[in-house]
A and B are shown apart, each in its own frame.
Chain A
Amino acid sequence: MSGEISAFFSALDPLCGPVGIFSLFNSGSLVACGDAGWGDEIASGVWMTITLAIVTLPVGLTIGFLIALAAQSEDRLLRLAAGIYTTIFRGLPELLTLFLIYYGLQILIQAVFSWFGYDERIEINAFAAGVAALSVVFSSYAAEVLLSAFRAIPRGQYEAGDSLGLHRWRTMRLIVLPQLIRIALPGLTNLWLILLKDTSYASAIGLAEILRQTGIAARVSKEAFFFYGIACLLYLILATISSVGLGFIERSVKRSEVAR
């Protein structure tokens, strides 16, 4: 059964499937799929980029939402804690954050483990480090977007929830969140496009995404301009597809808005 499913998906594969872009080239070209060309390697890089971005998104959004809640709370200490987080991670270059987390987490985990008397060299998966670093960066920007969206919701909405006798969480879920998403969507769309571009930094720690794979192809084949051009084109296509898709979502969300 699972073989059939994977066969179905590989038939729909837009890059190396039977009707894929790279399959249209003859087997002698540089981007052909299979052993002759680099098509299949680049295709796997594209999937890695998409996976990295899609795995990062919910993690980053959740942390960002919590940070935004903390930043608008009445508790001074909670605001301070959130402020420290966003100041640090919005001030550091993404590339440096990635290195800090990639090497720092290894040291941290090793230190914690050696405390419990377990001395073994620990290597962090590049993918996990990439997800951690990108979601930290994403969340600190998402917190800002969500915070300004929170401020755009009038107090009366919360008071209405209270007067209906709703619990705080139900007010949040039924009244505030639907409006919040509508207000924050343009900002979050922007952040998603930035996230797609930021995945390219993960190539620096050896994660096999688009830029890494095309870089290897460029070095081996000595056709650097061609392959890096392909990398730029792939990022462009991903950005175009997602801005079209997100525009569609934005329109459909707007339709449910009350006419004022």
Chain B
Amino acid sequence: MSAVAELIPPRPAPPAARRAITGARIAAISVLILWALLAIALVSLVITGFDQAKFLRYGPRYLNGLWVTISLVGISVVFGAALSLPIAFARMSTNRVLSGIAYIYVYVFRSTPLLAQLFLIYYGLGSFKPQLEAVGLWWFFREAWYCGVFSFVLNTAAYQAEILRGAIQSVPRGQHEGAAALGISKFVTFRKIILPQAMIVALRPYGNEVILMIKGSAVVAIVTVYDLMGEARYAYSKTFDFQTYLWAALFYLVIVEILRHVWAFLEARLTRHLKR
């Protein structure tokens, strides 16, 4: 005989718990609405203010400016990397004078604004015209573009030297000792054992530095170089149309986002062997 006299009849499932509307949800929706309104305002500004003649007139100039920005940053980063190598080694050397000089260089260039450095080189060295002409360097410091490259190289070399130093010092001592025990020469040790391991550590900071340079390179617009920012300023001074800046912003955002994703891909690819 069963202990249960009658079975409980089947019942419908309980109603789904109502999602509580939290403060976070309200805040999220209101902020998103604010963003959407701003985006609509900007897009409608571009659409209503669209002018075929202006587009044809300034569009090619923007592309030209884009190329100036990219080439400026590319050249500066490459030459800066070359210059950062001796600075990083000087900074790590046991010679107090040498490391002191490298430290002062890095400290000075990292704690003054890029804009002030650019002014110092372009306008400041420009006041030494006779002396520069005597040495035969005036052609270089006369051009705003060369001055921009020069100041960017000096600036990014200081930052890259710190990145390189940190990365090289992050490689454990045992790697040096192991190579020494195998009788490998210092140069080969550095090139084949230390540098590959250091570069993986330095990959992310290098990516950040390139992005910072792209953003920092906008300052050359102030010393009359027509990079992306310079073209935007030129177009604004001719048309007084706010969307000139919006187009430049779009270009910069796209470059930075592409770089960020390329770097994320590179990092994922190059550190495959480190993942567990």
Contacts and interface: CB of A to CB of B under 8 A. Distances in A.
Interface in A66-91: 70, 73-75, 77-78, 80-81, 84-85, 87-88, 90-91
Contact of A218 (B28, B41, B123, B221): B123
B249 A96 contact: yes
A203 B115 contact: yes
A232 B215 contact: no
B35 interface: yes
Contact of A70 (B27, B29, B115, B218): B27
Interface string A198-232: 11110110000001000100100011111011011
Contact of A99 (B28, B116, B245): B245
A199 B116 CA distance: 11
Interface stretch (B88-96, B105-113, B178-186, B190-198): B105-113
B205 to A, nearest CB: 13
A107 interface: yes
Interface in B117-131: 117, 119-120, 123-128
A95 B229 contact: yes
B28 A77 contact: yes
Given A75-B25, A91-B252, A211-B119, A200 B113 contact: yes
B22 interface: yes
B interface residue count range (under 10 / 10 to 19 / 20 to 34 / 35 or more): 35 or more
Given A211-B113, A224-B124, A81 B35 contact: yes
Interface stretch (A127-135, A177-185, A233-241): A233-241
Contacts of B22: 75
A40 interface: no
A36 interface: no
A19 interface: no
Q: Is the interface of A mostly helix, strand, loop or mixed?
A: helix
Interface string B25-61: 1011101100100000100010000000000000000
Contacts of B246: 100
Contacts of B123: 218, 224-225, 228
A62 B162 CA distance: 31
B215 A204 contact: no
B24 to A, nearest CB: 4
Contacts of B245: 96, 99-100, 103-104
Q: Which of A70, A73, A91, A201 has most chain B Cβ within 10 Å?
A: A91
B229 A232 contact: no
Given A80-B32, A204-B222, A92 B25 contact: no
A108 B34 CA distance: 13
Nearest to B121: A228
B161 interface: no
Nearest to A104: B242
A203 B22 CA distance: 44
A236 B24 contact: no
A225 B28 contact: no
B171 interface: no
A239 B253 contact: no
B113 A198 contact: yes
A107 to B, nearest CB: 6
Contacts of A199: 113
B216 interface: yes
A145 B150 CA distance: 32
Contact of B24 (A73, A204, A222, A232): A73
B257 interface: yes
A226 B236 CA distance: 33
B35 A93 contact: no
A228 B124 contact: yes
Nearest to A225: B124
Interface of A: 70, 73-75, 77-78, 80-81, 84-85, 87-88, 90-96, 99-100, 103-104, 107-108, 111, 193, 197-201, 203-204, 211, 215, 218, 222-226, 228-229, 231-232, 235-236, 239-240, 243
25 contacts: A70-B28, A74-B24, A75-B24, A75-B28, A78-B27, A78-B31, A81-B28, A85-B35, A90-B256, A91-B215, A91-B253, A92-B249, A93-B215, A93-B216, A93-B218, A94-B218, A95-B219, A99-B233, A100-B249, A197-B111, A197-B112, A200-B116, A218-B123, A225-B124, A239-B112
Interface of B: 22, 24-25, 27-29, 31-32, 35, 41, 45, 108, 111-117, 119-120, 123-128, 214-219, 221-222, 229, 232-233, 236, 242, 245-246, 248-249, 252-253, 256-257
Q: Lowest 8 A-B CB distances belong to which pairs?
A: A225-B124, A239-B111, A78-B28, A200-B113, A93-B218, A77-B28, A91-B256, A224-B123
